[in-house]
Structure 1
Amino acid sequence: MNKFTDGLYIGLISGTSADGIDAALVSFRQHQPELVCSHLEPFPADLRQRLTSLFTPGANQIDLLGQLDVELGQLFAQASLNLLSKSGVTKNEIAAIGSHGQTVRHRPTERHPFTLQIADPHYIAEITGIDVIADFRRRDMVLGGQGAPLAPAFHEAFLGHASENRVILNVGGIANITYLPAANVEGALAMDTGPANGLMDAWIQRRNGFTYDQNGAWASSGKVIHPLLENWLQDPYFKLSAPKSTGKEYFHLAWAEKAGNLTAYAPEDIQASFLELSATSIANAIAQLATPVDRVLACGGGVRNSALMARLQQLIPCRVQNTGDYGIPPDWVEAMAFAWFAKNHLQRIKLDLSAFTGAQNPVLMGSFFPAS
């Protein structure tokens, strides 16, 4: 057995919800990804507060970013060690760690486009004693891509179908879709559709002190404020064509407040309106695809928001399932993807991301950070 082609890899990511580190131990020994073990490393409340403050412009951010880069690197390393301890696997059995880090800025449409993820990979490699592949997005931008979304390459490899037009829907802080037409049908694409749980999380945090709306219960207790919803849906981002990408540095509460004073309404009605915005913008993006969709497979932490998922099923005319029905647990799709990207890097496999990010040439994703 070749350790680097058939072995075990770790994938690490903190997504747009910024609530902790998803760590996945993945086997590729059967040429299909198998989740061997998983671990969620929660962020301490103080760290999460400092981290989310980086998502919008503020004072002294370079110093804060530098400190958090180191702190997160150490925590990502600890997440890896905790995963190994839970699984009973030793570091010598791991081919590499693929670490996405935490995105704190994503500006694909600037004159000089850039994207920035933190969690210093030098610390991860040194503390774990395992080679690390990190910095996955910037080379894509050099080649004319938006640097996002990247997970669609993994979706295409393992969740596409020969006779079905499928959409893979990732529901995190931001929602993104991967359109995978049936074999011999052109038009695969991917894009961020806009907010998913991000605005709902931020609003319930501000008003009630909770980090998320469990099962969408608070949103379900309110009524949609349609004038606000219509104003939000006029944002130019929703009219852009794919490929397109965004983040919580764009869709945040200050953005929502441009449409009106949120405190003028019952807070639960604002929450209901945020849920409707997420569901409507996702459904609109799917409805605008070139051919009808046969099946939607959802993944990401948002699949646990039962109110959002129920509303999506009402708005989308085909069946909405989750990726767990097809062998890839919905909470761990992105972490598993970065394990796969690390494998591709070690094998020097360049991925064609043109349909998903707009990159002009195949990309060797990531940079190599060796263990001592």
Structure 2
Amino acid sequence: MNSDDFSELRLEGVSRAFGKSAALADLTLTVKRGEFVALLGPSGSGKSTALNCIAGLLPLTAGTISLDDRRVDHLAPEQRGFGMVFQNYALFPHLTVRGNIAFGLKMRKVPRAEITRRVDAALALVQLSAHADKQPGQLSGGQQQRVAIARAVVVEPPVVLMDEPLSNLDAKLRHEMRAEVRRLHQELGLTTIYVTHDQEEALSLADRLVVLSDGRVQQIGTPEEVYLRPINSFVADFMGYRNLLSMTAHGVDGADHLLLRGDGIELTAVRNDESVLDGPVTVAMRPDDLVVGQSGGNQFSAVVTSIEYQGRDFEVQAVATSGAALFLRTPERLIVDQSISIGISPERLMVYPATKKSTPAAPVPEHEAV
């Protein structure tokens, strides 16, 4: 089967439990042919479990997986025909680059002349023709990852599955390989499902993001939708809204704005969630949206506690008079213990119904994407 033989991959209620623990619960998703979908979330969110279920490496506890109207969840991995790119490359060290790329074709008993033609084309595509007779140990990490990608796509699979394929590379090479992965996806018309914990990677590569937490889907949308309009406080936090404050909303029925109060801070926000009117809320703010010395519609005071030089600007931690820890990015040269005024536009505040995981308006630990 090749990528022209189907129009969509459908997951309906896909679940996987280990004992009484649900690693993945009720994942329903349709991936169109030619689409690039990223499964995004922190460690333990269920993204790799989902990929392994699609690949056939893990049996389902519930649900179905279909290519168009043909169910494939009962098939062995090799019968599904999907391409797989692993985090650790999984190359055969005793085979040459050419031998590694040709392996899947030989297993499928493709005629020798066809193998040669397709391997040569794959080598040219990943720009490794000059390294065809080398062994993996003679290649750089980025070159090894190109071999792994070529091996996956040379069999012309209906779907290519990638499990954090760039995480072992250094930052510069990872950035270069992102562009390479996207180029190959577009040139070959691949259908790609890509697992990552890196928000920037997902935003730059994918047509759609599936954000997972604790085995459950939190939000599905385009990169722009997920980045600009996170659906809940978890997605907001994961997508870079490092400042999460517990406050109380005082709304007027039918009004577009909310008055927010909490520990000496008073803010006005444009209502982004129709269910929010009055009561406890979580208020999310991006560090980039906090402006030093400008009101922007909201203004409050804080004292600088830490400064890190980031090249073009500074990453600053500050404590508001309420005791709330805040993170901001600014080109302003500040000093520790300096009193500053911080402004933020009402349109830049995200307000969500309070949950048990809401962070109180007290020192907030530094967000880490893991």
Q: What's the TM-score once normalised by structure 1's chain length?
A: 0.26
Structure that is richer in helix per residue:
1
Structure that is richer in strand per residue:
2
Structure having greater relative contact order (Cα 8 Å, sep ≥ 6): 1
Flag the structure with larger Rg.
2
